Chains A and B, each alone.
Chain A
Amino acid sequence: MNIEKNTEKQRLNFWEKIYLPEIARGLGMTFVEMFKPKVTRQYPEEVWNPTGSYRGRPVLVLEEDGERCVACGLCSRVCPALAIEVAAGETEKTKERYPIKFEINMLRCIYCGFCEEVCPEEAIVMSKDYDLVFEKQEDAILDKDQLLIPMAQLQDRLEFLRQYRR
C-alpha cells in the first residue's frame, strides 16, 4: 500500500528538503550544548549516598541481644536466584531458634528484595551498600558475620519499610 497522506514530501518544505540548513541548525544546537554545566559525578571522590528506598546488598539486622532472624527459611525459599542458604539451630532464649549458618551468594543475588518482603521478622533488609568488589569467587559468598549489621545503621531502610510496606 502506498502512503499518500502526510508523506515526507508533504511535511518538509524546500529548505528542510535540501538538508543543509537543518544540519546547520542541529550543529548549532549541539554547539550550545557543549558549554552547559556538566552533570557527571566524579565517583570515587564524590560518593553518592542513596535514600532509604535504595535496594543495595541484603543484610541481616543485628539487635542488642543478637540477630532478629529466626531461621524460618522463607527468604531462602522465595529467593528467585537461589542465593540464600540457611541452617537452623535451637537456643535457650525466648526466640528458641537462630541461624547456625546464613550465607548469601552475592554473585547470584539480583537485588530483587523478595527476601526482605517475605521475612516475618523484618530480619533481612536491603542496605545502601553498592560498591561490592570481590577478588575471588569464594569471597563473594557472604557468611553471617559479614551479613550482620547493627540496627542503628539501617534506620533509613526500616523507616522506609514502615511507611511503604503493606
Chain B
Amino acid sequence: MEQWLVQSLVLGLKMFLIVNGLLIAAAYLVYFERKISAWIQNRIGPNRVGPLGLFQSFADVFKLYLKEDIIPTLANKGFHAIAPVISIGIAIAVYAVIPFGEYFYLGGEKVYLSIAPHINVGLLFILGMSSVGVYGLTLAGWSSNNKYSLLGGLRSSAQMISYELSMGLSLIGVLMISGSLDLMQIVQSQTGGQWNIFFQPLGFIIFLVSAFAETNRTPFDLPEAEPELVGGYHTEYSGMKFGLFFLAEYVNMVTACAMMVLLFFGGWDVPFLYETLGLEQGSVLRALVQFGVVVGKMIPFLFLFIQTRWSLPRFRYDQLMSLGWKVMLPLALANIAVTGIIMMIFQ
C-alpha cells in the first residue's frame, strides 16, 4: 500500500480512538463523580442501571438526546447553537498534541501514541486552545439573552483570563528545566525519576490551583454558581446542547490531569519499570504499558478533582480575584526568578 494511505489510515484511527475514548472517559467521570459524592455523604449512589449502576451515564446521555431542545425566542440563534460546539470542540482539540506514550513499530511503520507527535509548540498550543475555550462559555452566556447567563459568561471570562496568567507562568519553571515546548521532550527530560515535581513543587501547586479555576470546578465554579445564577452560562440550554457543555467540563478536567502527569510527574516514566519487565524500545507491549502508566497516574488527580468538589465551599468573587492576582501571580513570578537563580548557580 502507499505510504500516505497507511499514514492517514493510522491517523484517522487514532483520532477516532481519542475522541471516543475521551467521551466515554467523561461519561464514566460523571458516574464516579456521582458515586464518590454519594459515598462522601454516606449514600450509595447510582446502582440501578446495569451492574453497580455502571450504565447510568449512558442512560443519562440517551435521555439528553431525547429531550426537547429549547431555544429562547430572543436568543441570538447562531451563537446560541455554536457555543456548545466551541466548548467541546476545543476541549477535544487539545488532545492533538498530548502524548500518552512514546511509539511502537507496526509492520515497519512507526506509530506514535499521540496525533501530532514532536510538534515544537505543543505546550503553547494547549495553553492557547484553553484560552480560546472561554469563547464557548462567554458566547453561551451572551447569546442566551438572559441576565443570569450573561453574568455567568462574564464571570467565566474574567476568571479564566486571571488564572491563565498564573497557569502559564507556573509552567515557565518546567520549560526552563527541560528546555523545550515539545511535550514528548519534556517527558523524556524527566526520565529516571527526575520528575519536575521535585524541582518545582511551588510551580505544581500554582498549576493545580489554576487548573481548578480553569476547569470551573469547585471551589472556583463561580460561572455556574447555582444559588446565585440559576445555572450560570448554561441556564438557557437544554437537551444535548447542555450535555455538550457538561462533557466539555469533564474533558477539560481530564486535560488538566494529563498536563499535571506529563509536566510534573514524569508522564510514562516509572524508574526501573521497563527494564525489569524487559520491554524494549518500540515494542507494542511497551507502548501499552506506557499508556497504562499515564492513565494510572491521572486517576489520583481525577479523584482529587472530584473529592475537592464535595469537600470545599465556593469562593466569593472578590476572594477569587484577590487570590488570583495578589497571591498566585506574584508567587508564580517569584518561582520563575528563584528557578532561574538556582539554575545559574548549579550550571
Q: A20-B205, A23-B312 are in contact. Are A37 and B42 (CB under 8 A)?
A: yes
Is B307 an interface residue, CB under 8 A from the partner? Answer: yes
Other A-B contacts than A26-B311, A34-B36, A40-B42, 15 sampled, CB-CB below 8 A, are A20-B205, A23-B308, A23-B312, A26-B312, A27-B304, A27-B307, A27-B308, A30-B40, A30-B310, A33-B40, A35-B39, A36-B42, A38-B42, A38-B44, A40-B43
Residues on the A chain within 8 Å of B307, using CB: 27, 30-31
Residues on the B chain within 8 Å of A37, using CB: 42
Whether the pair A39, B43 counts as a contact (CB closer than 8 A) is yes
Residues on the A chain within 8 Å of B40, using CB: 30, 33-34
Residues on the A chain within 8 Å of B312, using CB: 23, 26
Residues of B within 8 A of A (CB): 36, 39-44, 205, 304, 307-308, 310-312
16 example contacts (A-B, Cβ-Cβ < 8 A) are as follows A20-B205, A23-B308, A23-B311, A26-B312, A27-B304, A27-B311, A29-B311, A30-B311, A33-B39, A33-B42, A35-B39, A38-B39, A38-B43, A38-B44, A40-B42, A40-B44
**Nearest A residue to B308, CB-CB:** A27
How long is the Cα–Cα vector from A39 to B44 in the complex, in angstroms?
8
Interface positions, chain A 102-135, Cβ under 8 Å from B, are: none
Interface positions, chain A 1-43, Cβ under 8 Å from B, are: 20, 23, 26-27, 29-31, 33-40, 42
**Nearest A residue to B41, CB-CB:** A33
Number of A residues near B (Cβ < 8 Å) is: 16
Residues on the A chain within 8 Å of B41, using CB: 33
How long is the Cα–Cα vector from A26 to B40 in the complex, in angstroms?
12
How long is the Cα–Cα vector from A59 to B308 in the complex, in angstroms?
49
How long is the Cα–Cα vector from A37 to B307 in the complex, in angstroms?
18
How long is the Cα–Cα vector from A29 to B39 in the complex, in angstroms?
12
**Nearest A residue to B313, CB-CB:** A26
Interface positions, chain A 38-56, Cβ under 8 Å from B, are: 38-40, 42
How long is the Cα–Cα vector from A23 to B220 in the complex, in angstroms?
14
Residues on the A chain within 8 Å of B39, using CB: 33-35, 38
**Nearest B residue to A29, CB-CB:** B311
How long is the Cα–Cα vector from A29 to B196 in the complex, in angstroms?
29
How long is the Cα–Cα vector from A42 to B40 in the complex, in angstroms?
18
**Nearest A residue to B44, CB-CB:** A40
How long is the Cα–Cα vector from A30 to B304 in the complex, in angstroms?
11
Nearest-CB distance from B42 to chain A (Å)?
A: 5
How long is the Cα–Cα vector from A20 to B304 in the complex, in angstroms?
14
Residues on the B chain within 8 Å of A36, using CB: 42
Residues on the B chain within 8 Å of A40, using CB: 42-44
How long is the Cα–Cα vector from A36 to B310 in the complex, in angstroms?
16
